Amino acid sequence: MASYSTNEFKGGLKVMLDGDPCAIVDNEFVKPGKGQAFNRVKLRNLMTGRVWERTFKSGESLEAADVLELDMEYLYNDGEMWHFMKTDGSFEQYAVDKRALGDTEKWLKEQVAYTVTLWNDNPISVSAPNFIELEVTETDPGLKGDTAQGGSKPATLSSGAVVRVPLFINEGEVLKVDTRTGEYVSRA
C-alpha cells in the first residue's frame, strides 16, 4: 500500500494510525525559524468517529488506508445485520453490523441511498443523507388551526427517530427532517 508524507497530508486524505483507518481533518505546519519542523495533525478515527490530535516530525509518513465511500441503498434488516446495495447498477450487496451502523439506525428507510464507508471492503460506518422524508407514526393529536409559532411536541417517525415537531403535525403525515441535527424542517 502507498504511504503519504506529512507534506501531502490534506483534509479528507485516508491514512492508517494505530491500526485504525483515519481521515485527515486538519494539518498545521509548525516550524521555529531555524529549527526542526513539525506537523500538528487532526485526524478523525473512522472506526469510532473520534478526533485525534497528533504531532509528527515533518517528513514522517503514514500508510494509506484502503477506504472507499460509496452510495448504497438500504434494503432490509434480517434481525442481526442491515443490508445495503450499491447504486452503480452492480446489485452488489453489503451486510452492515450494528456497531458500524451506529446512530444512523434511527434514520433508516428502504430505498433511500446512504453513504457507506468501506475499509478493506468491509463496511465501517454509514451516514444518512442530510435531509430525509419520514412518516410520523406516533404523536399527540394535532391542535386544529394552531399554526402559530412556538410550542412543540415529540413525534416518533417510521424509522424510530423521535423529533420535536410543531403542535399542528398529525400521525400519518410525512416530514422533512435534518439528520445532522435531528430537527424538523417542514412538511414534505
Closest CA to 87 of 56, 129, 36: 129
Instruction: Name the minimum Å distance from CB 119 to another protein.
Output: 24
Which three three-digit cell numbers place residue 162?
A: 423521535
Q: Which is nearer to another protein, 10 or 99 (CB)?
A: 10
Q: What is the dihedral of CA 175, 176, 180, 183, to 10 degrees?
A: -50
Could you tell me if 102 and 125 are in contact, meaning their C-beta atoms sit under 8 angstroms apart? yes
Could you tell me if 118 and 70 are in contact, meaning their C-beta atoms sit under 8 angstroms apart? yes
Q: Which is nearer to another protein, 7 or 87 (CB)?
A: 7
Cα(139)–Cα(184) distance, integer angstroms? 14
CA atoms lying within 13 Å on the CB side of residue 160: 7
Could you tell me if 113 and 148 are in contact, meaning their C-beta atoms sit under 8 angstroms apart? no
Q: Is 3 in the site for another protein (CB under 8 A)?
A: no
Q: Which is nearer to another protein, 30 or 188 (CB)?
A: 30
Q: Which is nearer to another protein, 59 or 160 (CB)?
A: 59
Question: According to CB under 8 A, which one of 56, 75, 153, 173 is a site residue for another protein?
Answer: 56
Show the binding pattern over residues 13-52: x = contacts another protein (CB under 8 A), - = does not: --------------xxxxxxxxxxxx--------------
Q: Is 53 in the site for another protein (CB under 8 A)?
A: yes
Question: How many chain residues bind another protein (CB under 8 A)?
Answer: 20
Which three three-digit cell numbers place residue 42?
A: 487532526
Q: Is 54 in the site for another protein (CB under 8 A)?
A: yes
Using CB under 8 A, list all residues that contact another protein.
Answer: 7, 27-38, 53-59
